[in-house]
């Protein structure tokens, strides 16, 4: 399928939070050894990015205090020289939050001979820096020119790879200067040259201790939500990959038995994880934690990755719903138990779309997301809920009048040029092909003939446009429904026209096998008829009445619903 959602775009340009009372977050930031670092800073960003200005707060003596004016989620990044920066998601709910952080030492490559020391005298141009040379004691050093009383230089970068047990040890510095690009070292330079030394340190056979995050005892909800955030990150990185691989294996006969067995094993592991999650939901007595467990259930059964929202559509493409079928009991419980104003939705609002799609856009699910859209205390979540509702309904039913009405409301509220819609045809522009609107004209080749068939020549007939491609398995699966419709109504004023959207020319089928008109080209979704009818996924169908007005689009024109729709049309 080619129906992709730019959900990640909302995280980049989301609206601001609704104003509330000020929340104070305070605590201590320590180094990996439990001691105060020579310099410490805390960086404050909005959880969704973009709108809230970045603020950097110095933390002298390791003590910090951050004042947050709005309710909702924020990201606090804790930094110190020779340490890895660490980000914590904090729930601000008017009450003071106590948060202590102990950072992790930054990993370091044992070979620093490739590193140059860039200084303030060369405007920190790396190519003009002095290379470090390995010394007999295992350290690395360089003699650097220092025309002023103080030399400021950029420290060697921590490696992006894992060198087990090797971290920053000693480095020549009297103090550290914070910059947006990280810390720089400052050293007194009474002489014309300064010897800069860097010494890697081995931590035996153990890795550097992980960062330690401790919320105050009074901040139970903030701590629980931070745990939830971490669990979603882990599931997004690992569980989704397993599910996609299992899905690929399930639908490919070309894979070896060993790979198929491995895929089944991955699927079984995922099912065991979900079963354990169901048990946790039943045993949980804390209301807030139960809400978050139900949200985790939505995440794990759908396979939607937390780290990249826009990949969700790839999940639909790989058929994850067929692999991990959610238990309707827990879908119903999510609607009944989770408060529409829950701050859990602020962590992963795309799960609202999962709720709509996995319940097949039930009335209860739609009403629930409507409640989130109307009353969540975080404005960005309201907006996301609105888009999720549109996209979830569109995924299930196509461009029904209900979807069009929601879309028009969304465009009125956020603008037709909203970045969340701009790349999501047909949602990204004013709709032309929707129930009740005039159908665009088209030109097609008739079966077995070279001349064209204009849509005008099909006036006074009900026309079903069937968009199809040889690679579309779902198109082939619904072939019987199409032939049944042709047999039931094809002898009257009903005409089926198939638009083939392959990317290469295909021989026309024999007349006896193709009882409908045919549009055939080699330009796929860029063909004039596909572009004119705003086709963004297959299978896709459009029903047009005798006056050239669209009667139905999408979900109402497949399987049993196709015959029900045609029956209503021809009985009127």
* Containing structural domain, residue 135: 116-202
Q: Are 233 and 290 found together in one domain?
A: yes
Q: Got the DSSP string for 166-198?
A: EEEEEE--SEEEEETTEEEEEEE--SSEEEEEE
Separation CA 437–CA 434 (nearest Å): 6
Instruction: Among 175, 202, 229, give the residue marking a domain's end.
Output: 202
Whether 422 is covered by a domain: the verdict is: no
Whether 340 is covered by a domain: the verdict is: yes
Mean pLDDT of 387-401: 77
Separation CA 231–CA 151 (nearest Å): 44
SS3 label, residue 44? strand
Is pLDDT of 318 > 80? no
Q: Are 287 and 371 found together in one domain?
A: yes
Q: Are 137 and 251 found together in one domain?
A: no
- The tokens for 309 are 């929202």
Whether 5 is covered by a domain: the verdict is: no
Whether 215 is covered by a domain: the verdict is: no
What pLDDT digit, counting tens, does each position of 324-337 carry?
778 999 999 999 99
Q: Are 183 and 240 found together in one domain?
A: no
Give CA angle at 115 (113, 118), nearest 5°: 140
Is pLDDT of 299 > 50? yes
Q: Are 137 and 182 found together in one domain?
A: yes
Residue that wins the pLDDT comparison between 516 and 56: 56
Q: Buried (b) or exposed (e) across 393-408, using 16+ Cβ within 10 A?
A: bbbbbbbbebbbebbe
Q: Which residues contact 525 (CB under 8 A, 6 or more apart)?
A: 2, 501, 531, 535, 536
Max CA distance (Å), the chain: 100
Q: Are 463 and 361 found together in one domain?
A: no
Whether 210 is covered by a domain: the verdict is: no
What pLDDT digit, counting tens, does each position of 418-476 carry?
666 655 545 555 567 778 888 887 665 444 433 344 555 567 788 898 888 877 767 77
Whether 381 is covered by a domain: the verdict is: yes
Whether 282 is covered by a domain: the verdict is: yes
- Taking Cα atoms as reference points, which of 160, 183, 210, 153 lies closest to residue 79? 183
Q: Are 85 and 126 found together in one domain?
A: no
How far is residue 339 CA from its own chain's centroid?
23
By the 8 A CB rule, do 435 and 404 touch?
A: yes
Q: Are 320 and 354 found together in one domain?
A: yes
Per-residue three-class SS string for 395-440: HHHCCCHHHHHHHHHHHHHHCCCCCCCCCCCCCCCCCCCCCCCECC
Q: Got the DSSP string for 191-215?
A: SSEEEEEEEEEE-TTSPPPPPEEEE
Q: Are 359 and 467 found together in one domain?
A: no
CATH of the domain at 536: 3.40.30.10
Partners of residue 519 on adjacent β-strands: 499
Helix (H) or strand (E) holding 386: helix 379-397
What pLDDT digit, counting tens, does each position of 66-110 carry?
998 878 899 999 999 999 999 999 999 888 999 999 999 988 888
pTM of the entire predicted model: 0.71
What is the domain count for the chain? Answer: 4
Question: Tell me, what's the pLDDT at 99?
Answer: 97
Whether 427 is covered by a domain: the verdict is: no
């Amino acid at each position: 399928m080619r129906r992709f959602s730019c959900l990640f775009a909302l995280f980049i340009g989301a609206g601001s939070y609704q104003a509330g009372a000020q929340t104070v977050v305070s605590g201590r930031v320590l180094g990996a050894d439990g001691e105060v670092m020579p310099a410490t800073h805390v960086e404050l960003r909005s959880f969704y990015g973009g709108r809230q200005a970045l603020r950097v707060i110095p933390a002298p003596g390791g003590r910090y205090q951050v004042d947050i004016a709005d309710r909702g989620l924020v990201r606090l990044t804790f930094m110190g020289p020779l340490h890895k920066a660490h980000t914590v998601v904090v729930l601000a709910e008017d009450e003071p939050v106590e948060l202590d952080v102990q950072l992790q030492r930054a990993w370091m490559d044992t070979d620093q001979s490739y590193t140059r020391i860039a200084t303030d005298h060369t405007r920190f141009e790396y190519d003009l820096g002095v290379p470090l040379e390995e010394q007999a004691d295992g350290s690395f050093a360089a003699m650097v020119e220092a025309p002023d009383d103080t030399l400021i230089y950029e420290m060697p970068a921590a490696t992006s790879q894992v060198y087990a047990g090797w971290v920053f040890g000693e480095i020549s510095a009297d103090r550290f200067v914070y910059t947006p690009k990280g810390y720089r070292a400052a050293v007194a330079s009474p002489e014309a040259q300064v010897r800069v030394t860097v010494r890697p340190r081995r931590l035996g056979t153990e890795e550097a201790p992980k960062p330690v995050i401790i919320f105050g005892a009074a901040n139970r909800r903030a701590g629980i939500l931070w745990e939830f955030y971490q669990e979603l990150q882990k599931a997004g990185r690992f569980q989704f990959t397993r599910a996609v691989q299992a899905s690929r294996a399930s639908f490919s006969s070309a894979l070896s038995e060993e790979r198929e067995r491995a895929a089944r094993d991955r699927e079984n592991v995922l099912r065991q994880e979900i079963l354990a999650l169901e048990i946790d939901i039943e045993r949980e007595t804390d209301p807030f934690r139960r809400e978050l467990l139900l949200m985790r259930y939505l995440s794990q059964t759908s396979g939607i990755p937390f780290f990249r929202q826009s990949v969700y559509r790839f999940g639909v493409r790989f058929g994850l719903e067929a692999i991990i079928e959610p238990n309707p009991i827990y879908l119903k419980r999510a609607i009944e138990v989770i408060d529409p104003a829950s701050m859990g939705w602020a962590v992963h609002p795309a799960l609202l779309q999962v709720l709509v799609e996995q319940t097949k856009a039930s009335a209860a699910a739609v009403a629930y997301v409507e409640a989130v859209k109307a009353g969540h205390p975080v404005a960005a979540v309201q907006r996301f809920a609105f888009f999720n509702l549109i996209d979830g309904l569109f995924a299930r039913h196509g461009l029904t009048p209900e979807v069009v009405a929601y879309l028009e409301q969304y465009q009125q509220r956020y603008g037709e040029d909203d970045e969340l819609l701009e790349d999501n045809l047909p949602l990204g522009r004013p709709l032309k092909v929707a129930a009740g609107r005039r159908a665009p004209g088209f030109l097609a080749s008739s079966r077995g003939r070279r001349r064209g068939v204009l849509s005008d020549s099909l006036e006074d007939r009900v026309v079903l446009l069937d968009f199809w491609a040889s690679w579309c398995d779902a198109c082939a699966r619904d072939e019987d429904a199409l032939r049944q419709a042709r047999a039931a109504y094809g002898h009257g004023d009903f005409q089926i026209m198939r638009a083939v959207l392959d990317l290469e020319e295909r021989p026309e089928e024999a007349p006896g096998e193709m009882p409908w008109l045919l549009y055939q080209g080699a330009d796929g979704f860029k063909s004039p008829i596909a572009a004119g009818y705003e086709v963004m996924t297959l299978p896709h169908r459009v029903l047009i009445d005798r006056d050239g007005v669209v009667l139905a689009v999408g979900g109402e024109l497949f399987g049993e619903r196709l015959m029900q729709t045609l029956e209503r049309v021809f009985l009127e």
